[in-house]
Structure 1
């Protein structure tokens, strides 16, 4: 993968209606070191790539700013695939209403329900995925990512720097 400019990478975290400020994966047992993708990080990886141990419980927190107009009935949808086959598909509500950010320091925060990584040596490896934010039934933001299941006992980490 060719290296992209920081501006190109940051643009993936924005759309006409919102800016994703942080996308955080909190893995139970590793609370001291959540996996955080931040728009303002100068070390922002070339791609979103999470490495999480098999069997781990985790949840996602999305911090974002609303632009232009309030958002109504937002939800987060995530699809994970292995070799073209969907292995995980979940859609969860975020907020009923999210007002336009007037205060520059304020961010909306959506803490999504816990989920669990499958377990067993057969499930280890890389998966491709897509995350979407919907307003009602319309996609307003999406992001491709790589989800890698690693051996239990290893520390969760971020990849995508190569």
Structure 2
């Protein structure tokens, strides 16, 4: 049921490709036998919310500085200059300002599945959609896609975390490192790997979930607490 994963497309994902990590669980699958009442879970690695908090406390953060200051450092180091050029691309330094922090805005979220129109998910300002945010058809294959914009400064170690519960029992947890991104006017687009919704009587019903976009400094750019449903068919539109 993880609604995330994948690779950045449409724009450059510059910086920490060699250090990219990805941890995501398999979705929860019902055996399809409605008589046994058992839900079988995949064996992929996952991180708990407590483990994420521990990771955040263990990070040693370096001093922050503006993008202009970064470019002024070590001007005579040719290899470092080439790395900065690769990372920043065609960034207009005169337009990035003197901000110490990046400004990351999630612009859109949508679910794509063959045979239906894209399900565009409205992003509420308070991060708490009213009612069920969306409905997934059991046994369906789908992808989550989103776009985001980076301004003011480089965002380092942007990652997505997602946790899902059913009747107070955690059934899925995922964390994916997206990468390091330079500020630019053009938005970045991210497409997650294809997922398959669990199926069967015991897989259907209402779920609660929490999704976050955070960086290496543990700064959260978007947190959404929501509910969604798995039903026999897609919601009528």
| Aligned position for 1:122 | 202
After TM superposition, where is structure 1 displaced by more than 6 Å over at least 4 residues in a row? none
> What is the distance in 2 between the residues matched to 1:77 and 1:156?
26
Q: Structure 1: state its 5+ residue gaps.
A: 1-15, 40-44
| Aligned position for 2:113 | 27
Q: 2:191 aligns with which of 93, 111, 115?
A: 111
Q: 1:83 aligns with which of 167, 170, 183?
A: 167
Larger Rg computed on CA atoms: 2
1:61 aligns with 2:140: no
Distance 1:49 1:157, change over 3 A: farther
Q: Give the root-mean-square deviation of aligned CA atoms.
A: 2.5
What is the number of residues matched between the two proteins? 131
User: What does the per-residue CA deviation read over 1:81-100, in whole Å, with 9 as the maximum and x for residues that have no partner?
Assistant: 11211111111232x22122
Give the SS at the match of 1:87. strand
| Aligned position for 1:98 | 181
Normalising by the residue count of structure 2, what TM-score does the alignment of the two structures yield? 0.49
Query: How far 1:80 moved relative to its partner?
Result: 0.7
> What is the distance in 1 between the residues matched to 2:132 and 2:151?
23
Q: Structure 2: state its 5+ residue gaps.
A: 1-101, 124-128
Normalising by the residue count of structure 1, what TM-score does the alignment of the two structures yield? 0.70
1:144 aligns with 2:225: yes
Q: Name the one with the larger helix percent.
A: 2
> What is the distance in 1 between the residues matched to 2:226 and 2:154?
27
> What is the distance in 1 between the residues matched to 2:235 and 2:152?
36
Q: Name the one with the larger strand percent.
A: 1
1:155 aligns with 2:231: no
Give the SS at the match of 1:138. coil
Q: Retained in 1: the 8 A contact 2:138–2:204? A: yes
| Aligned position for 2:57 | none
Q: Retained in 2: the 8 A contact 1:50–1:157? A: no
